[in-house]
Each structure stands twice: as C-alpha cells, then as structure tokens.
Structure 1
Amino acid sequence: MFSHVLNPGSPPTTTPFAFLLWGARLQWRTLVAGMVCGIVWMTAIGLVPAAIGRGIDDGLVPGDRGELVRWSLILTGLSLVIALSGSIRHWFAVQNWLDGAFRVVVVTDEAVTTRGQEIARSFPAGDVVSVTTTDMERVGHVYDTTARCSGAIVSFAVVGVLLLRASVSTGLVVLLGAPVLLAMLSLIIRPLQRRQAEQREESGRLTTLGTDTVAGLRILRGIGGEAEFVGRYAVQSQRVRQAGVRVAGYQAALDASQTLLPGLFVVLVVWTGARAVVRGDLTTGELVAFYGYATFMTFPLRTVTEMVEHVIRFRVAATKIMAILRVPSDHPAVAGEGSLETAADGDLVDPVSGAVFTRGALTAVVSARPEDSVALAGRLGRLGPGAAGPGKAAAGAGGVEATAYGAGPTLGGRTLADLPIDVVRRTVVVNDPEARLFSGSLRAQLRAGRPADDTTLVRALGTAHATEILHSLPDGLDTIVEEKGRGFSGGQRQRLGLARALAIDPPVLVLIEPTSAVDAHTEARIAEELARHRRGRTTVVATVSPLVLHHTDRVILLVDGRAVASGTHAELLSGNTAYRDIVIRGGDDR
C-alpha cells in the first residue's frame, strides 16, 4: 500500500516542476480523491449565498412558507455536504502532506546512505539536516494544498457563472477584479522568494556550525577554543535573524495584502450591487447573494495565494533537494552481477604503487608519509573520489591525488572497478583508527548487519584485546552503546572498531594504524593475536610500529607513493636505511 512512499525510486533532478510531477504520479490516487472532495466542498460553500438569496426572494419577501422551508432544507443539505466533504478532504490533505514529506526523507536518506562521503564533500551538514527538518514540510504542503486549490478554481468558475446570469456588470466586477488582486500580490511574491532562499542558505550554515561545534565540544574545551566557536555561532545566528527579518517584511506585506485587498474587493462589489438594486436590476435577495458571493470570493482567492506561496517555498526547497540528489557517486553502477569468492584466493595488486599483496598473508605497508599509506588503503577498498573506475585519478581516504591507474586494483586478476560496489564491500573491508560507533547494542555494533554468533564476537574482542571492555559493561553484549561511542575512551573505541572488522571476517581486510591509540604492551598482544586470528586470510596493515611489523609475514616500503622495496621486517630493518629510519622514528614516537 505504501510502496510509493517506502520505495519511490529515483526522482528527476532537472527542474522543481519535474520533481513535483514525479511525486504527484506516485500518489495520484489520494491527490485525485482530495481534489474531488475539495471541489465538492468549496463549490457547496459557494452555493450557500445563492440558496440564501433564493430563500429571501421566493419565501421570505412574498411570505411563502413552502418556499422558505424548501430553501431551508436545501441549505441544510448543503451544510451536510460541506461538513462531510470537508472532513474527507482534510483526511486526504493530511495523507498527501505526509506522503510528499516522507518521500523526501526516503530519497534523501537513500542518497546519504549510498553517497554520504560524496555529499559531505559538496554540501555542509546543515543543508542535509535542513532537508529532513524544513524542506520536507515545504514539499508536503504543495501536495496538501492541491485539494483546496482545485476547489477554489472550480468554485470560482461556478460562482462567476451565477454572477453573470444575475448581473453582467456586477459579475464582471467580481470576475475581473480577482485576477487583478492576484497580479498585485505577485509584486510581493517574487522578492519574497529571493529572501526565503537567502534565509535558507544562512540557516543551513548555522545548522552546520552548530553540528560541528557540538561534535568537537570536548576538544574545544580542552584547547580553550569553546568561546571562539560560541562567538562564531552568535555571529551566524545574527545573520539568520537578519535574513529572517528581511523575509518577515515581505511576508507581513503579503499577509496584510491578503486581508486588505479582498476587503476592498468586497466593498466594491457591495457598492456596485447596491446601485443595481436602486436601478431595479437586482432584487433584495440577489443583493444579499452578491454580498455572499463577494465574501466567498475572498476564500478561493486566499487559497490560490496560499498555493502560490507554497509553490515558492517548494521551489527553494526542491532546488536544494535536487542539488543533493545530483551529487554523483564515486562508484557508479556497473552492468551485471559479480562475485569475488574465487578471486579472493588470488593476490591483491595495486597498479598505482606497484604493491602486490600475497594471498593469505599478513602484509604491512610502511611509508614516511602516512597519507600515502591511507591513499593506498582507499584504493584497495574503492574509497574516495577517483577510486571507482578505470582511467581516473585515484584519491584515497586521505585525499591525496595519485596518477591515473588504468584498470585499477585487481584481486585474483579481476578488476575491482568492474564489479558492483556491494560485491567489493563484502569482499574487501577497510578499517581506519577513527571507525565510528553508532547507537544500539554492542552486539549489533560488532555484527555490523552481518550474521555472527556470540562466540565469533567474543573471539574478535579477544583478538582486539577488548575483552575487559566487555566485562566492564553492565549488560555485556546487550549493553546500549551511546551515539559515536561517547561512553568509551579513544583507545576503547579503536579496539571495538578493530573487533568489529575482525568479526565481519572478510576475505580481504585492510587496517589503517589499528593500534595507534593503545599502549605498547597492549599493542604487542594485539599484533600477536591479529596474526593468529587472520592466518590464511589476506590482511593489509598500514603501520610504522615495530611491535606490529614484527608479527607480519611481509612488509612493503612506499616512497612517494611507490613500492620500492619488500621483504620481512628483519630483512628490511637490516638492509634498507630508509626503512630503518622510518620504523625507528615510528617506534620513538610511541
């Protein structure tokens, strides 16, 4: 029933109108139902003055009780129709609002889930947050207002016909005056749209600044920078306030015009109708009906104005939403399906650096520039821009550009870039020292959405020397982890991240400085257990720690991003001066 909301597919990102039409096609049934109810509801309201006028002329003035009762019953019937159709219209309006708003959340969540790092490079976090807090409502309001707007247009036409049949001159005043009112309001609407777009930009920057400040609050307090960032937040907050004031001026003018102009319109219609009664062109009942028509006409006019205002806000919101959705993936889809189960039995090769990682071996990567090792790890896992396909410049997780690498890294002779990204993710897992923890149970954290029993999880915790962390928790594996693992120290978070990578047990595991936040004793034990745990599985470790290098099967030395030497730790330590300098310095740093 709700597949059009939960699985809406990919929206067009060409124009706001195309985006709006795409959503309308997905929920056309509720939109049409709401429009029908809206037309019935508002048309019935528009016919009330006609029934009152006829009741006066046919029943009240001549004293005809039968006609008076007849038109009274007609008024009662119209009231029932108004009540029933209005209630159903409101139900569909809320349904349309929820569907339209929630669909924005779904497509944005899909984009962030699949292209999170790509979007983060192009947009501040505040813009993405605003989509799911403010922009979704603006999209929903357009679908919500369609029922009332449709009713407003049809009822305006029906009442216009009734007016012209009663008096051409007075009817023309009503019918021609309405477009003039809308034209006058459009003079305010256009600058209002610009001001709203400016406020949207400033509000997004404020949200981003607040998010970044809260995320780094502990560090800011440690270095005494909290006051500086609070000051920046205050400055940006004032910019948002000033942008809001500029919007408020035009918004106030629009709201005032929506009351003043229709009021003047009613005065003009009543004056014209009264003159027609004096001339004998209108009866008393028709004058009352004309006054009712004029009063009613302000209702559809304000509804259309409201729709225009919602469309303006929608255009601003949709432009931002589509800009986020247009961000290309670092890993575009490739045709067909693939598997690396057989290929995982072969060597892992990186043409950029010339490094070859032997199948089933624990291989370390040592470099004087850590960013070179990080870039290599990013290429092996197809992380970051340029790591997705042939002929592109490679940039790893450290953001370091490398030369074009032709067909890209291969595993068992198969090019990783030629396979669907989900296949690569199941086969090659990259774990960095800043691995994030999310809210939820520790068991769910370690499983990472993959099947793993408690025995596997406990074994992984033991290898990462994190068993004492488990024992210190009140509910063991069922303990709820706070967002970003705030309840753990930096070293504990690093070890839990390592345990999670080990529990996944991928055919190829790439670790970036997995022991940088632990003491030497713990590091030595982790290195020893890691070699035992991953025996027979391809493992790559980017590190300069002698304690870890001592337990590796092979070491590759990078100089300026290229593999210039390889061998055991002992061989390189005794025969390569550059390697010895890097490792000794790395050991001293610890």
Structure 2
Amino acid sequence: MTTSESRPPRTGSEILRTALRRNAGAMTRGTVLMGMYQAGETAFPIALGLIVEHALRDRSLGSLGLSIAALAVIITTVSFSWRFGMRILQKANVTEAHRWRVRVAACGLQPVARDVDLKSGEVLTIATEDADQTADIIEVVPLLVSSLVAVLIAAVALGMADIWLGLLVIAGTVAVLSTLSVMSRRIGSGTREQQARVARAGAKVADLIAGLRPLHGFGGNHAAFRSYRRVSAEARNQAVTVAKADGAYAGAALALNAALATAVTLMAGKLAFDGRITTGELVMAVGLAQFVMEPLKLFSEMPKYVMVARASAERMALVLAAPPVMTPGTERPAATGGLEVDRVRYGTLRKLRFEVPAGEFVAIAAYRAREAADLVSLLSGDVPPGAYEGVVRIGGRETADLSIEAIREHMLVNPSNGEIFAGTLRSNIDPSGTGRMVPEAVEASMLTDVVALHRAGLDHSVRDRGANLSGGQRQRLSLARALAADAPVLVLHDPTTAVDAVTEQLIARNIARLRRGRTTIVISGSPALLDAADRVLVLDDGVITTEDTHRNLLGADEDYRLAVAR
C-alpha cells in the first residue's frame, strides 16, 4: 500500500479518486471492451442500411453472403466484448468494495473521539451498503464512456447521410443530459439523507438487540420498539421521497430519449421523401434512432449513479477521517513494568493515585459503581489524554508516548459486559487460534462444566451474543478469553457478578494461582476476589482512601465491612 493510500481519505471526492486511480488498468481494459460492444451495437443498423442499399443496387448472392458474414462478425464482437468487458469491470468493482469494507471495519474497531456522532449500527451500514455503492463508480465511468462512443458513432454515421441528422443527435443528447443532470442533484441530496436515516435505524435496532434482556426485565421492550418504529418510519418516508424523485427522473429520461429518437426518425423520413437520402440510409437512420435510445438511457442514468456513489463515499469519509481518541506514540513499555495512576482527575475520579508493581495481584473495591466505570474507561484507552488531568503509566512509560499496539499487547482490560461472538467456545476464548493457555484458562474460569456438557467440547457452537448460554456461562467465557491472552498486565472489572458464591470462590483462587508473577488488577466488590488479592485498595469519593489486606480491612474498617461483607 502506498503512502497516499495508507493516509485516511478526508472527503468523499478523495475516496472516489483513490478508487479510480487504483483500478485504472482494469477500467481501461473494460472501457475498450465496452466501447467495442457499443460500437458493434451501433454498427448493426449501419450494416443493415448498407445491406439494403447493396441489395437494391447489386442484387447478387455474393453481396448478400458477404453482408451476412459481416453481421456475424458484428454479433460475435458484441457478444464477446460484453462478456469479457463486464467480467473485468465487475471483478474490479467487487474487489474495490471489499477493500473499502475492510478499511471501514478496521477504522470502526478503533476508538474515535467522542465528538464524532457515529454509532455501531451506522458503521455497519457504511461498511456494507455504502462501500458497495462507492465501488460502483468502477463500472459507471467505463459505461459512461462507452455510451458516449455509441452516441458519437451514431451521430457521425447519420451526419454522413445528412449533416442535419448528425447535428440533431448531438444537440438532442446535450439537451437531454443537461436536463437530467439538474434532476440528478436532487436525487443525490435525497439519497444522502435516506442513507443517514437508514443507518440511524440500523443503529437503533443494534442497540435494542444488545439491550434486549434488560429491556424485558423492566418491561421497556414495547416502548423501545415504538422508538425504533418511529426511526424506521422516518427512513421509509425518506425512501419514498427518493423513489418518487427517482421515478420522475427515469420517466423524464425515457420521454426525452423517445422524443429524440422520434425526431430523428421523422427527419429521416422527411429527407428520404424529399430524395435527399437513399432508402438504405433511411433504414440506417430509423435503426440508429431506435438503437440510440439504449446508450442514451444508460448515459442519462450515469449522473444519478455518480451522485449516489459520491453520497456513499462522503459517508465513508466520516468513518475513515474520524479522529482517534489519542495520537499514538512510538515507544513501548518495559516488559516487566506494572501500572501507575498518578494524580488523575476524570469524571468522578479526583487526584486518583495508586501503583501496582509488576507481578502483584491487587483488588480495587469501589464504593460507587460510577467510579469503577470511570476507572475502567480510563485504563482501557477510551479516554484521550487531553480529556483528563494527571498521568497513566504502563511499564514505566506514559500512555501518551506509547503506540496503541504496544498498549494492547502489554495490558488487557476486560470489561464487565465482555462481548460474546457467534462461533464456538474455542473461537471465543482464542480468536486468533494461536493461544497456548486455553486449557488453563478454561479450568481457571470454571468453564469446564460447560465444555463437558456438550459432545463437541470446546467446538460447541455459540450463537450471536451468546444467546444459547446463561448469564454466568457468558461471563465465565469472557473471563476465560481474558486469562488465555496471558497479558503482562490484566485488568478485570466485575468478572464474577453472574456466578454463584461457591463458583466465585473457586474462580478467585484460580485467578490468583494462574496469574502468579503477572500483574493483575481486579475492580470488584466480591469478597472472594478481594480475599484472594495480595492487597486491597479502597476507592471512595474519587480517591484511594486506604489499603491493606481484605481480612485486615474487615477487622479495622467498619465502612469497608458494611460495603463488601455478604
């Protein structure tokens, strides 16, 4: 990939230029072949006119046989040029669409600045429909050029019969395209709004699916459905508006093209009646008048497709040009380093300060859920350095100086609502297929009963979002994935809230044993996890108020005992 292609495009026009430049070779070959197709189509009525002319004049079987052979050559040229031309263009089209889908998906996986109003459902629509419609420009341009070739050949052929016929085709084509280009702008603006509303509807339904269980829990599913129905209705109404404009465009194109063909036919008839053109030229003119409607129709539709491609490209630019949460550095943390939070002020956190040396197992007991959530957001990289005061250091290096890849390789933050993907138990635990600690992680997370329950074991199928697993099974599967990664620094947020007390006790001991010698931070109020940790930090009112072992805190701190004792 060149430097220009690796730099994120900033505008829809830049995306289209990149697509055209990258496929210049395929488009050139496709344009030549499609031009041959259109030239062959145009040559057919011309050949018929010449056949009639020679048949009336020569009346010989040899001339007739030669004419039939010429028609066969024309038909063969038309067939093969269309077949191979469209094959080249469609291959380039789908390949280019694939490239943009992958690039948009890659950007969608990166955290972006919070002022960019893009939801996951919108990114999904952009990465599929908009990527496909943008890549259509690869076919649009060659078809546009080949249609222009057909119109020019028709104009030249008619002009050789009579100059006024050629001028009529040229003037009529200019008038048709000028009228339709004005109408295509309205379709383009309407399409952009339709795409935005469809994407919002997609984002809404994605949010509903993600929160379906809690919605059912408090009876909010009906209200949520009404909310989605309203957004979907807005998308439908906009689609109807675009369809009306599209229908008016198509009707106007058909009427204008038919009017031009009729004008050419009538003028040719008048010229033949006056004896200014021959019978063969009349046949040619009538045939070309009928034929020219197809390339004109195709030619007149191109502005609409260009506007749609541009609208889709502009939506893709929203994702590709979205600023990242932080500008990554180039340094790497020390391999044996721990984690340090130094005087951080963010959200409910105020001058938060603590240090976890390498190899220590520390639990953080947050008295308020919001404080725990803010700390997890801070450590996971969702908050840019400029959005908080203070410094976070990983392996002795400030996060602002580290590359995103280095942070992710060194520290893993596993949220309380870890996502479960469609696939198998194994693919959820070890997505890359290169993990060496899958058996140990399965045992430590107490997922062994789930594996043993099914004949396929780790290859047991998992539905989207873990729909065929219980809440505790999903949570243990997410924990197994975090443990299997074997990150030098592991941060777990409430990893056992959905499991029973006995299982929780076993998991806490297993984590301490498996992670011995590795830096581990557990943000939780679970007595079992607090007891398994080397020490406990108490987070209250945005600061660390005290620290000690769990058992010492139970005996000496009444507030702590009331907060965590069950």
The normalised TM-score by structure 2 is 0.91
Residues 183-203 of structure 1: CA deviation (Å, up to 9, x unaligned)? 222342222222222222222
In 2, Cα distance between equivalents of 1:370 and 1:257: 62
Pair 1:221 & 2:216 matched: yes
In 2, Cα distance between equivalents of 1:346 and 1:201: 45
Displacement of 1:323 in angstroms is: 0.6
Displacement of 1:356 in angstroms is: 1.1
* Residue number in structure 1 paired with 2:49: 53
**Partner amino acid for 1:430?**
V
* Residue number in structure 2 paired with 1:410: 393
Displacement of 1:130 in angstroms is: 1.8
In 2, Cα distance between equivalents of 1:84 and 1:412: 64
* Residue number in structure 2 paired with 1:560: 541
Contact 1:364-1:556 at 8 Å conserved across structures: yes
Pair 1:167 & 2:162 matched: yes
In 2, Cα distance between equivalents of 1:486 and 1:469: 14
* Residue number in structure 2 paired with 1:430: 413
Task: Tell me the SS of whatever aligns to 1:530.
Answer: helix
**Partner amino acid for 2:234?**
R
Task: Tell me the SS of whatever aligns to 2:292.
Answer: helix
In 2, Cα distance between equivalents of 1:12 and 1:273: 55
In 1, Cα distance between equivalents of 2:308 and 2:338: 56
Q: Indicate which of 120, 125, 128 corresponds to 2:123.
A: 128
Residues 120/214 of structure 1: CA separation in 2 closer, same or farther (3 Å cut): farther
Residues 119/29 of structure 1: CA separation in 2 closer, same or farther (3 Å cut): farther
Task: Tell me the SS of whatever aligns to 2:412.
Answer: strand
Q: Which runs of 5+ in 1 are unaligned?
A: 395-403
Task: Tell me the SS of whatever aligns to 1:194.
Answer: helix
| Larger RCO (CA within 8 A; separation ≥ 6) | 2
Task: Tell me the SS of whatever aligns to 2:536.
Answer: strand
In 1, Cα distance between equivalents of 2:372 and 2:483: 20
Residues 55-87 of structure 1: CA deviation (Å, up to 9, x unaligned)? 222332453544444333322221221112121
CA RMSD between the two structures: 2.6
* Residue number in structure 2 paired with 1:367: 366
In 1, Cα distance between equivalents of 2:550 and 2:215: 40
Q: Indicate which of 428, 433, 440 corresponds to 2:423.
A: 440
Q: Indicate which of 494, 512, 520 corresponds to 1:539.
A: 520
In 1, Cα distance between equivalents of 2:290 and 2:8: 41
Displacement of 1:557 in angstroms is: 2.5
Contact 1:112-1:119 at 8 Å conserved across structures: no
Displacement of 1:260 in angstroms is: 1.4
Task: Tell me the SS of whatever aligns to 1:261.
Answer: helix
Moved more, 271-280 or 64-73: 64-73
Aligned positions of 1:335-374 closer than 5 A = 335=330, 338=332, 340-341=334-335, 344-345=336-337, 348-352=340-344, 353-374=352-373
Q: Indicate which of 140, 147, 150 corresponds to 1:145.
A: 140
Residues 449/96 of structure 1: CA separation in 2 closer, same or farther (3 Å cut): closer
**Partner amino acid for 2:125?**
S
Identical aligned residues as a percent: 28
Q: How many aligned positions are there?
A: 559
Contact 1:509-1:539 at 8 Å conserved across structures: yes
Displacement of 1:372 in angstroms is: 2.3
Residues 20-45 of structure 1: CA deviation (Å, up to 9, x unaligned)? 12112222222111101011111121
Aligned positions of 1:71-470 closer than 5 A = 71-115=67-111, 122-335=117-330, 338=332, 340-341=334-335, 344-345=336-337, 348-352=340-344, 353-381=352-380, 383-387=381-385, 392-394=386-388, 404-405=389-390, 408-449=391-432, 451-453=434-436, 456-470=437-451
In 2, Cα distance between equivalents of 1:357 and 1:338: 18
In 2, Cα distance between equivalents of 1:452 and 1:161: 69
* Residue number in structure 2 paired with 1:528: 509
Contact 2:54-2:63 at 8 Å conserved across structures: yes
* Residue number in structure 1 paired with 2:347: none
Residues 523-543 of structure 1: CA deviation (Å, up to 9, x unaligned)? 233223322322222111112
Residues 547/68 of structure 1: CA separation in 2 closer, same or farther (3 Å cut): closer
* Residue number in structure 2 paired with 1:399: none
**Partner amino acid for 2:157?**
L
**Partner amino acid for 1:79?**
I
Displacement of 1:314 in angstroms is: 0.8
Residues 491/162 of structure 1: CA separation in 2 closer, same or farther (3 Å cut): same
In 1, Cα distance between equivalents of 2:551 and 2:119: 47
In 2, Cα distance between equivalents of 1:222 and 1:543: 24
Residues 582/302 of structure 1: CA separation in 2 closer, same or farther (3 Å cut): farther
Q: Which runs of 5+ in 2 are unaligned?
A: 345-351
Contact 1:340-1:424 at 8 Å conserved across structures: no
The normalised TM-score by structure 1 is 0.88
**Partner amino acid for 1:24?**
L
Task: Tell me the SS of whatever aligns to 1:122.
Answer: coil
Pair 1:584 & 2:562 matched: yes
**Partner amino acid for 1:444?**
S
In 2, Cα distance between equivalents of 1:92 and 1:229: 47
**Partner amino acid for 1:340?**
A
Q: Indicate which of 17, 38, 43 corresponds to 2:34.
A: 38
Contact 2:553-2:560 at 8 Å conserved across structures: no
* Residue number in structure 1 paired with 2:466: 485
Pair 1:514 & 2:514 matched: no
* Residue number in structure 1 paired with 2:454: 473
Residues 428/176 of structure 1: CA separation in 2 closer, same or farther (3 Å cut): same
Task: Tell me the SS of whatever aligns to 2:546.
Answer: strand
Contact 1:448-1:504 at 8 Å conserved across structures: no
In 2, Cα distance between equivalents of 1:498 and 1:566: 26
In 2, Cα distance between equivalents of 1:347 and 1:208: 36
Residues 276/425 of structure 1: CA separation in 2 closer, same or farther (3 Å cut): same
**Partner amino acid for 1:449?**
S
Displacement of 1:351 in angstroms is: 4.0
**Partner amino acid for 1:425?**
R
Contact 1:340-1:427 at 8 Å conserved across structures: no
**Partner amino acid for 1:428?**
M
In 2, Cα distance between equivalents of 1:96 and 1:536: 52
In 2, Cα distance between equivalents of 1:564 and 1:217: 38
Contact 1:8-1:26 at 8 Å conserved across structures: no
Contact 1:13-1:323 at 8 Å conserved across structures: no
Contact 1:350-1:380 at 8 Å conserved across structures: no
Contact 1:10-1:107 at 8 Å conserved across structures: no
In 2, Cα distance between equivalents of 1:45 and 1:303: 14
Displacement of 1:349 in angstroms is: 4.2
